[in-house]
């Protein structure tokens, strides 16, 4: 019986040689990739602090002063819309003595530190320091909030901690063109929910790309999902930092056959036969369906925990239908059950992978996209691949 505990030279490429074989001969990532703090710390530095990450749809902060806070890989953030209607992201830490300034979400007139009442405008500029005392060396402009890059695509807000990273649209490649017919910048968010998950963040990302589990894990909710024979996992078929698979079926998968459905979107006929599922590196999973768009952000919290944030978007005209709440409640109920099933599957995997005697797994034809994803991770964490 082989002992699969984390090796001292965990970043030695030889430990991962078998992952780089052709998918039908390759091994999965070693178990320590899902349990090791050293591996996770390298992921934070080389992936999450270098790549673009989605933090939600712009309609979450529609008005000046609207804000929400978010913990991102141990970094506290404030997302706020300014009087100029621009959304900005700041480190949620006062430059005076480090206190967290805002909590939760809401609307504010300023960003004010609760410790010493230093106040900042929505551009992050310090403008009030009550009772500071006399000083010749203090300069207000030296103590502004630290701003993080934020760019938007199709209404979704994305952040990047690397000032030298390529712009978001270049990063996404042809994904905006593929998904343009859905017009998500004109949609509204009709639900948002957080799920705490006792599992490594990669397990849920892999699960999203795994169509193999659907007839078993979701046998009573999604039934059998026929996986498209179109090879969207083939790296030659997309240009950008994402993977994508496609499933086809008649109608919608959001509710059961006998339940009333939301209106179909105004899409070309060739896009009405299923759903596109892009996995955008590093933290975003999306579903472009015939009646709505879903987005899931994943926020790692150490090697064995993460938080999922799921949102659903529909056109404003759909959300304003007299019976929308009644119809959408069925979608939401079914979607929540599916999500619970996926969370349980990931948590079971985490428990199994935590064994020191865990064996290396394999890939089947249904796992090709997961293999691609494992290779992408290794190229960044063990190799020197750039975004």
What does pLDDT average to over the chain? 90
Q: Does domain 53-164 have CATH number 3.40.50.970?
A: no
Q: How confident is the model at residue 3 (pLDDT cuts 50, 70, 90)?
A: low
pLDDT > 60? residue 225 = no
User: What is the C-alpha separation between 335 and 311, in angstroms, rounded?
Assistant: 11
**pLDDT reported for residue 33:** 97
User: What is the C-alpha separation between 34 and 306, in angstroms, rounded?
Assistant: 12
**pLDDT reported for residue 224:** 43
* Least reliable range by pLDDT among 91-105, 330-344, 373-387: 373-387
> What beta strand segments (E) does 136-181 contain?
147-153, 156-160
User: Strand pairing of 293-300 and 274-280?
Assistant: unpaired
Per-residue pLDDT tens for 47-76? Answer: 999 999 999 999 999 999 999 999 999 999
Residue pair 249/283 in contact (Cβ under 8 Å)? The answer is no
Choose between 227 and 351: higher pLDDT: 351
Name the nearest CA neighbour of 186 among 318, 327, 52, 284.
318
Name the residue ranges covered by the structural domains of the chain: 13-30+181-382, 53-164
Q: Which fold has domain 13-30+181-382?
A: Naphthalene 1,2-dioxygenase Alpha Subunit; Chain A, domain 1 (3.90.380)
**pLDDT reported for residue 65:** 99
pLDDT average, residue stretch 91-109: 98
**pLDDT reported for residue 185:** 96
Per-residue pLDDT tens for 19-37? Answer: 999 999 999 999 999 999 9
**pLDDT reported for residue 231:** 39
Per-residue pLDDT tens for 130-168? Answer: 998 888 899 999 999 999 999 999 999 999 999 999 999
Beta partners for 102? none
């Amino acid at each position: 019986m082989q002992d699969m505990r984390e090796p001292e030279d965990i970043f030695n490429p030889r430990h991962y040689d078998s992952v780089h074989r052709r998918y039908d001969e390759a091994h999965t990532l070693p178990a320590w990739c899902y349990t090791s703090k050293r591996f996770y710390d390298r992921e934070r530095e080389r992936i999450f602090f270098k790549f673009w990450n989605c933090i939600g749809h712009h309609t979450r902060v529609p008005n000046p002063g609207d804000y929400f806070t978010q913990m991102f890989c141990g970094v506290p953030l404030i997302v706020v819309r300014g009087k100029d209607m621009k959304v900005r992201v700041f480190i949620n830490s006062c430059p005076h003595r480090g206190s967290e300034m805002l909590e939760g979400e809401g609307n504010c007139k300023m960003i004010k530190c609760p410790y010493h009442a230093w106040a900042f405008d929505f551009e992050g500029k310090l403008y009030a320091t009550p009772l500071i005392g006399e000083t010749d060396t203090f300069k207000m402009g030296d103590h502004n909030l630290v701003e993080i890059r934020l760019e938007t695509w199709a209404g979704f807000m994305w952040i990047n901690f690397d000032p030298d990273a390529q712009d978001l649209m270049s990063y996404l490649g042809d994904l905006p063109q593929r998904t343009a017919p859905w017009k998500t910048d004109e949609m509204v968010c009709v639900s948002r929910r957080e799920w705490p998950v006792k599992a490594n963040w990669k397990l849920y990302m892999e699960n999203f790309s795994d169509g193999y589990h659907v007839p078993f894990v979701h046998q009573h909710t999604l039934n059998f999902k026929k996986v498209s024979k179109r090879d969207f996992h083939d790296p030659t078929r997309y240009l950008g930092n994402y993977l994508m698979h496609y499933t086809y079926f008649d109608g919608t998968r959001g509710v059961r056959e006998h339940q009333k459905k939301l209106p179909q979107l105004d899409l070309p006929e060739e896009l009405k036969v299923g759903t596109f599922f892009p996995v955008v590196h590093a933290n975003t999973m999306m579903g472009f369906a015939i009646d709505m768009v879903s987005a899931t952000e994943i926020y790692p919290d150490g090697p064995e925990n993460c938080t999922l944030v799921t949102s659903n978007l529909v056109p404003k005209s759909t959300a304003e239908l007299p019976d929308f709440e009644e119809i959408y409640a069925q979608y939401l109920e079914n979607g929540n059950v599916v999500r619970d099933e996926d969370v349980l599957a990931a948590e079971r995997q985490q428990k199994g992978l935590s064994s020191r005697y865990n064996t290396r797994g394999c890939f089947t034809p249904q796992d090709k996209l997961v293999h691609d994803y494992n290779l992408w991770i290794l190229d960044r964490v063990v190799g020197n691949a750039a975004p």
